[in-house]
Amino acid sequence: MKLRSERLPRDCSEEPDPQAPAENCSRAALFAKAEELSAKRTAGGDPLAHFLKGQLYYEEGLYEEALIQFEKIKDTDFKAMYQLGVMHYDGLGTKEDPERGVEYMKKILYSDSPKARHLKFAAAYNLGRAYYEGCGVKQSTEEAERLWLIAADHGNPKASIKAQSTLGMLYSVLEDLKKAFFWHSEACGNGNLESQGALGVMYLYGQGIRQNTKAALECLREAAERGNIYAQGHLVEYYYNRKFYSTAAAVAKRCLQRGLGVRQDQAAAKKYYSKACLLDPGVASDLELAANLGRI
């Protein structure tokens, strides 16, 4: 189990020069320019500059350099403290130390400072994961549930949507399906893709809610289009069991050829659709056309 920081918004202080050559807009060039600018500000002792420089390194995977910047301001900057919590927990740029990662998250969650307020939901979510897995703390599903409920904040869209979706999964495991449906609905309403797929399945089989095939297919189709492999799999199964072989093959084809949720594998795609042809000769023309176009 890994704690992962939800990406923090980054402000872009400079507009790109439309006259600049295209090669100057490469990722490496942008990184070098940002590093140069942040170095000038950090030299002046600007705490925000230290955080921005640390975040720049963090986003680029230069964790040891990021750690140095965050350490310099951890006592005054809660964002830096949060990132340090994640890095110590996961061993990014330093030795894995889940106990220390948990300690940082607790400091944020239980701080009275208004500067920590916007990070409390994320910290509570991460602590819930730690308690659920028993990593850095003694395992406690009850404490994990309590912390996730704090992080979910009654479905508040500004809270941790991950916590809302995770509660849906937790209550499914605990077989409290009405609560599972409620939290998946909250998370789905806030844009969570995993919960949208889960809702489709719950509607399809009447789990925690009255069975509603129309609502189920709407959820599953939309989630599948957004790349959710869970929804795609259930759609394929639904159509296959009803002997709609062409439709089942079409859904699976989009998944395999676009590499959604699985490693893109053209050979596997061709093999699967060849088998589909045996089930429904109508698929053969579609397969032949795709092959002629070089898609499989």
What are 20's two structure tokens?
């600049």
pLDDT at 256: 62
Query: Would you state the pLDDT for residue 4?
Result: 52
Please tell me the predicted confidence (pLDDT) of residue 35.
Answer: 66
pLDDT of residue 221: 92
Question: From the centroid of its chain, how far is CA 114?
Answer: 27
CB contact at 8 A, 187 and 219: no
Q: What is the pLDDT of residue 27?
A: 64
C-alpha 19: how far from chain center: 36
What pLDDT does residue 29 have? 66
- Alpha helices by DSSP H, listed for the chain, are 27-43, 47-59, 63-73, 78-90, 98-109, 120-133, 141-152, 161-173, 177-189, 193-205, 213-225, 229-241, 245-258, 266-279, 282-292
pLDDT at 244: 82
CA proximity to 20, closest of 30, 35, 10, 34: 30
Residues in the chain: 296
What pLDDT sits at residue 44? 64
Q: Write out pLDDT tens, residues 207-259.
A: 999 999 999 999 999 999 898 888 988 888 888 888 887 888 887 776 665 55
**What pLDDT was estimated at residue 289?**
33
Residues of the chain with pLDDT under 70: 1-45, 254-296
